[in-house]
Amino acid sequence: MARTREELVAAYEPLCKQFHLLPVAVTPFYKKKVDEEIAAIGPGGPLYKCVYPTEAKVGDASKGIEPLHGPGEVEDFVQEYNHYPVAGNTDIVRQYSNRLLFMTTEHCCSNCAYCFRTIKLAESDGITIENSLDQLIEYVDAHKELEEVILSGGDPVLVPLDKLRLIFEKIKSINIPHIRLHTRSIVYNPYVITQEFIDLMAEFDVRVVFHIMHPYEIDDVVKAKVEQFRKANVRMYNQNPILAGINDSPFVLKKLFTMLDDMRIRQMSIFTPDIIAFSATYRIPYQKICDIFDYMNYHSSAWVNSVRLVSAIPPGKGRRENIKKWDKETGVITFEINGVEFEYVDFPEELYHEPEHLLWKEELGLEKANPRL
């Protein structure tokens, strides 16, 4: 008999302590959606999997079943530790010549079960703005080739407004033309996004990038909050990974991208899963990902299928055209970006399971399917 959500969470807790993973944390707003999903199809559906552990991820120590692992797993797949330009500061990350990342907080509304910074965030101890902002401004001011600062974390929406204003003012004072802010609060708890926050984004012309994973994360409350952004003339984008059991279907992605476009949100990129600790239940064979995108390419309009498929790897964002060699026998895909090669370890097909019930509301007749999508 399959274990309940509560039993899986209890089994996951010692793994969090042993391997320094993020604990389960879910907002009441999102939990209500997951509860509805569990009542309909049981644990393990697409929204469940965004925030809760599954049987395969946890394993079963009482039966000698180890957690599922795949080849190539590491703590920091994108190797952010190699891209700290300020000595002793782990909140400033520069992987590209024209932009850098500023980690404004370690806190999130909910903890994503697939978080690629799970170990770094689990080991952090609080907001770091005061310690890093001056160093950020000094560094950026000394590097005139930089043209964008990206606020990440954690979730920058949780940073107090007065501190966000200070960040924006200082960045603008050194003539940086572009500021970007990434958040998943829009689906975890849209109520924390106040009109004052939206007005601040508009005042400093900040591009807001959502991380919406699945169509069922979008309800009337989310749509109303997005409309507030639109009325304030804030530029909105979305990007997210493609993850097994969550959105690894051309039908799910097409529906998601269409809904986002209807809300005037531009989808930027879809990322392949990062090969980090305990990521095996989210990984997908690269050929399967290509098949999903190829199907979508031939069965959707350009404003849907123009989304970039990229792999966030140490040399940069690898696309299919950056593949130099693909060894199907060893499962190693060699990307080359700007003359730098990187070996991406593919996920074995025998460990991957075709998705089920990704659009369960349509399957059960709870939501009318659009035959044209």
Give residue 372's pLDDT: 72
- Residue 371: inside a domain, yes or no? no
Domain that holds residue 340: 5-363
Give residue 124's pLDDT: 62
Give residue 127's pLDDT: 46
Neighbours of 233 (CB within 10 A): 9
- Residue 370: inside a domain, yes or no? no
Give residue 61's pLDDT: 85
- Residue 251: inside a domain, yes or no? yes
Give residue 279's pLDDT: 93
CB contact at 8 A, 98 and 147: yes
DSSP 95-149: -SSSEEEEE--S--SS--TT-TTHHHHHT--S--HHHHHHHHHHHHHH-TT--EE
Which CATH number do you get for residue 112? 3.20.20.70
Give residue 367's pLDDT: 86
Give residue 117's pLDDT: 81
Give residue 118's pLDDT: 77
Digit-by-digit pLDDT tens for the chain (373 residues) are: 689 999 999 999 999 989 888 999 999 999 999 999 999 999 999 999 999 999 999 999 888 899 999 999 988 888 888 889 999 888 999 999 999 999 998 889 999 999 888 767 756 655 456 678 999 999 999 999 999 999 998 899 999 999 999 999 999 999 999 999 999 999 999 999 999 999 999 999 999 999 999 999 999 999 999 999 999 999 999 999 999 999 999 999 999 999 999 999 999 999 999 998 899 999 999 999 999 999 998 999 998 888 999 999 999 999 999 999 999 999 999 999 999 999 999 999 999 999 999 999 999 998 888 877 7
Q: What residues does 65 pair with on adjacent strands?
A: 60
Q: What is the CA radius of gyration of the chain?
A: 20
**Alpha helices (runs of H) in the chain, residue ranges in sequence order:** 5-19, 28-41, 46-51, 55-58, 118-122, 129-142, 161-173, 185-188, 195-203, 220-231, 250-262, 286-298, 302-305, 360-363
**Alpha helices (runs of H) in 42-77, residue ranges in sequence order:** 46-51, 55-58
- Residue 372: inside a domain, yes or no? no
DSSP 289-305: HHHHHHHHHHSS-HHHH
- Residue 149: inside a domain, yes or no? yes
- Residue 74: inside a domain, yes or no? yes
- In the chain, the number of structural domains is 1
- Residue 282: inside a domain, yes or no? yes
- Residue 373: inside a domain, yes or no? no
Q: What residues does 371 pair with on adjacent strands?
A: none
